[in-house]
Amino acid sequence: MRSNYSAIGKYVVYIKSTKDKSRAEALLGRALTGRSTIVDTFIEIEVRKDKKTELEKAVKKCNARAAKLIIPNIGHLPRSLAFCNAVMKLEGSDPYVCAIRETDGHVAVYKYHAMQMFLQCVDQIEINKKVAKKAIRKKMQTFIDPKTNKLWKAGNPSNLQSVATINATKAREQQANDYCKEIMPVIREIQRYGKVTLQGIANALMARNIKTRRGKDEWTPMGVSNLLKKASSLGV
């Protein structure tokens, strides 16, 4: 995913939040050489998981000025689908992001390939869903009595089954909503590139190795249609 990199050329700096500004500037000062030029700097003001407004501006500036995107202290950003969707818009035959890492007092610049980050992010989302489902199932089986702070099983077997069914339905609905919000930026990008039919969108999603919410490799026009309807109801 990453390799050591010699920082030479034009760069657009992206800083993930205002609280990271001082540390980011210090890392840039140590990592970039006299053969490096900073074209512009973008700092994320509103930190959101589903949208990276300043990052999108930074990517556009990179494309307009033929510059590289550099991120001091990249942290957990590659795990965010919104982040990976944005960097996928970097132009070039093999687009990548430069990141500064500090290890044992030593500062180095690495490059992260955009497509690899995107695919690993999608895989991580699937892992998180499985972990969440397991936690939900465990939580539905037993509860903590707030008065006694003791562990007890809820109701008789029939009541417990009803509660579990209702909670499972709510959990599935929430997971479906979350997935819709995560995947819609990708679909909008596909549509901007001219894929507007349901089959065309399905083919594009499969070409990008993006799995359905249920973890399947194959997308169908009906599946895309259902996703678009849900996005419309959610206002995404």
- The pLDDT of residue 2: 46
What is the chain's length?
A: 236
Instruction: Please name which of 130, 113, 141 lies closest in space to residue 215, comparing C-alpha atoms.
Output: 130
Q: Six-digit token pair at 48?
A: 């959101």
- The pLDDT of residue 1: 43
Q: At what angle do helices 198-207 and 221-234 cross, to 10 degrees?
A: 100
Query: What is the SS3 string spanning 112-167?
Result: EEHHHHHHHHHHHHHHHHHHHHHHHHHHHHCEECCCCCCEECCCCHHHHHHHHHHH
Q: Six-digit token pair at 218?
A: 């194959």
Span 2-116 CATH architecture: 3-Layer(aba) Sandwich (3.40)
Find the DSSP H helices in the chain: 21-31, 53-65, 81-87, 114-141, 157-192, 198-207, 221-234
pTM of the model: 0.50
Q: Residue 24 in contact with residue 15, Cβ under 8 Å?
A: yes
Q: For residue 67, how many other CB atoms are within 10 A of its CB?
A: 19
Write the burial class of residue 110 (CB in 10 Å: 0-12 exposed, 13-18 middle, 19+ buried).
middle
- The pLDDT of residue 14: 92
Instruction: Please name which of 231, 1, 232, 229 lies closest in space to residue 115, comparing C-alpha atoms.
Output: 1
Q: Residue 13 in contact with residue 19, Cβ under 8 Å?
A: no
- The pLDDT of residue 58: 93
Q: How far apart are CA 123 and CA 203, in angstroms?
A: 19
Which residues of the chain register pLDDT less than 70? 1-7, 76-79, 93-94, 115-168
- The pLDDT of residue 209: 82
Q: Six-digit token pair at 234?
A: 């959610």
- The pLDDT of residue 104: 77
- The pLDDT of residue 166: 58
Main-chain phi, psi angles of 50, to 5 degrees: -95, -5
